[in-house]
Amino acid sequence: MKVAVRLRRPAMQVQRRAFSVSPRRLNNYAFIGLGQMGYQMARNLQAKLPPWNTIRVFDINTAASEKLVQDMKAQQAGGAAPEVAVSAGDAAKDADTVITCLPEPNHVKSAYEDILSTYNASPKGEALPGSKSRLFIDCSTIDPTSSREVAAAVSSALPNGRGNFVDAPMSGGVVGATAGTLTFMLGAPECLLSRIEPILLRMGKRVLHCGPQGAGLSAKLANNYLLAIENIATAEAMNLGVKWGLDPKVLASVINVSTGKCWPSEVNNPVPGVVGTAPASRDYQGGFGISLMRKDLRLAMLAAKEAGAELPLSEKAAEVYRNAEAEERCKGRDFSVVYRWLGGKE
């Protein structure tokens, strides 16, 4: 299927605003997928909700759900009442807001199958008390087509606006998830913005509305495709300069006031010692894992194929990341480790 995503206007940044939570409104939340990102996001959300709200959490790794609820209960001040759920459906059955943060498209599809089967089996699940419709926010990085399939399944299980599925992939990494400073790229109808934004701003500091459902993922994948290429090109250019005898710090300072400047050259420089805070300066530990970069590149290539967009550099880039990750000295490290794979001087 050809997917043509048109943004009706440039992404609109939504500023942090004062929350107008109506007093004693009973809101039930579900949070599904408590990995590196989801665990921290759920913790921030719970801590910033009033105590008369509930949050039910689920991960197929039961230990993660139990530990999170313990952490939530141990914190000093307030927050929504946390509970461990035994399945995605169990977490979501009474929730008016469901947030998912899962690794791959197949995980998202299977979690929503479970959630929607619970509503189908339970007439009670069809309308919430107060008849507020259910909102499903998927923060996973998946392909826009899979996301639209899940959105369609939600609409057919909960028709007439009783269920809305939106995509809100994020950037900011584990550091941003922990600090509550994530940026969300939102794909959602305008009419839902006032409901979605206050929820996302409890876990992040910026919401960029990119257009209708699916548009958040398109924006995220286009950005990460560019990043994938820039990272390799920066590693190549730095390696080249060093081999020519240039001091890498001098070369980086030239690039960073010239036309080659990009995030990998300025913030995440792949040569150890050039940027003290970059993963390269700590043996490429932490940062954005090479396996996540491979995944995002694969999803971008899939979505490009569906849209009929040529990505001539993508095959080579995918090969570079695949070969780099296959080497023990690069595996599990920040994606800037491509410089090491190229044989760059460290």
Q: Distance between CA 179 and CA 321 in Å, rounded?
A: 29
Q: How far is the CB of 171 from ligand NAD (least distance, A)?
A: 6
Q: What Rg value do the Cα atoms of the chain yield, rounded?
A: 21
* Residue 38 in the binding site for ligand NAD (CB under 6 A): yes
Question: CA angle, corner 233, sides to 216 and 303, nearest 5?
Answer: 30
Contacting residue, 32, 80, 166, 228, with ligand NAD by CB under 6 A: 32
CB of 61 to ligand NAD, least distance (A): 4
**Helix (H) and strand (E) counts in the chain:** 13, 10
137-176: contacts with ligand NAD (CB under 6 A): 140-141, 170-171, 173-174
What's the min distance (Å) between Cβ of 39 and ligand NAD? 7
Q: Which is nearer to ligand NAD, 47 or 292 (CB)?
A: 292
User: Is residue 219 close enough to count as binding ligand NAD by CB under 6 A?
Assistant: no
Q: Is the dihedral of CA 154, 159, 161, 162 positive or negative?
A: negative
Spatial CB neighbours of 277, under 8 Å, sequence gap ≥ 6: none
Residue 76 is encoded by which pair of tokens? Answer: 């000093």
User: What residues numbered 65-124 form the site for ligand NAD, per CB under 6 A?
Assistant: 88, 101-103, 107, 110-111
Q: Closest Cα partner for 39 from 227, 203, 236?
A: 203
Residues found in the chain? 346
Count residues near ligand NAD (CB under 6 A): 27
Q: Which of residues 307-336 bind ligand NAD (CB under 6 A)?
A: none
Q: Name the minimum Å distance from CB 220 to ligand NAD.
A: 8
Instruction: Round to whole Å and give the CA distance between 291 and 161.
Output: 37
In eight-state DSSP terms, residue 19 is -
Q: Which one of 220, 249, 295, 305 is the catalytic residue? A: 220
Part of the chain binding ligand NAD (CB under 6 A), chosen from 33-41, 185-193, 322-330, 331-339: 33-41
Residue number with CB closer to ligand NAD (87 or 133): 87
**Secondary structure element (H or E) that encloses residue 315, with its range:** helix 314-325
> Distance (Å, rounded) from C-alpha 45 to C-alpha 55?
9
Contact between 34 and ligand NAD by CB under 6 A: the answer reads: yes
- Told to check if 36 binds ligand NAD by CB under 6 A, we report yes
Binding site for ligand NAD (CB under 6 A): 32-38, 58-61, 64, 88, 101-103, 107, 110-111, 140-141, 170-171, 173-174, 288, 292
The residues annotated with a catalytic role in the active site are: 220
